[in-house]
Structure 1
Amino acid sequence: MLILSRKVGEVIRISDDVFVEVVAVRGGKVRLAVTAPKDIPIFRQEVYQKKQKAKELASNGAV
């Protein structure tokens, strides 16, 4: 795992066309802006896990 420190307004570049910018830090929350091509799906981890679980249940025949 790579851990980076950034200030508000600073950007992390993941590839040629994926960027993550720190927009705000308030209390214990960090707001990020992600810029990426539309064909790259971006999800919060908990949403991705729910989608994967639903996909797994559907493929097992339990809807």
Structure 2
Amino acid sequence: MANLLKKEHIGEKLGISLATVNNWIKTQVIPPPDILDHYSQSTFVSIINGIKDEPSRLNSRANRSLLEKK
């Protein structure tokens, strides 16, 4: 399973919990893993870029670790 990344890495990269990642999968904010609990490198990058392009997703409610406002 070379070049595959666990869904936990999405949480680490974005500063969110695994529970949030699982909720986003369930609510189709992000796609389900490609193979078991793993994403291909290209899918992982597109998810990260897509979420970072939507800052309100990270700034709302409990996901405030990347909040740029002080």
TM-score, normalised relative to structure 2: 0.26
Please identify the structure whose Cα radius of gyration is greater.
Answer: 1
